[in-house]
Amino acid sequence: MWLSVFGLRRNEISLFDAYQSYNSRYDIEHFFRFSKQNLLLEAYQTPDVEHEELWWQFCMLTPIMDKKYMVY
């Protein structure tokens, strides 16, 4: 894996910190990709704000439950 840090203050960031930030970002990107493909995160529409908030909560909990209860 190649990992680069850019910017004027790049010398202030350790390799370990850069890797941790990248790893966190990867998890976030994976969540949004999974949610858009499988949970209709982009396509869900409702006039009721409460329903939309509940749907977002459901979408955020699904990957956690998927890892915990998934049988491989």
Per-residue tokens: 62: 């699904």
pTM, entire model? 0.49
Q: Helix, strand, coil: what percent of the chain each, to 5?
A: 65, 0, 35
Number of domains in the chain: 1
Considering only CA atoms, which of 66, 64, 60, 53 is closest in space to residue 35? 60
pLDDT one-digit tens code per residue, 15-72: 899 999 888 888 788 778 877 887 777 777 788 889 888 888 888 887 777 665 555 4
- Residue 60 structural domain: 12-69
Whether 33 is covered by a domain: the verdict is yes
Report whether 16 contacts 31 (CB < 8 A): no
- The answer to whether residue 4 is domain-embedded is no
Taking the C-alpha atoms of residue 14 and residue 5, their distance in angstroms, rounded to an integer, is 9
Query: For the segment 4-21, what is each residue's pLDDT rounded down to a tens digit?
Result: 888 999 999 998 999 998
CA distances from 33 to 14, 27, 44 (A): 29, 10, 15
Whether 45 maps to a domain, the answer reads: yes
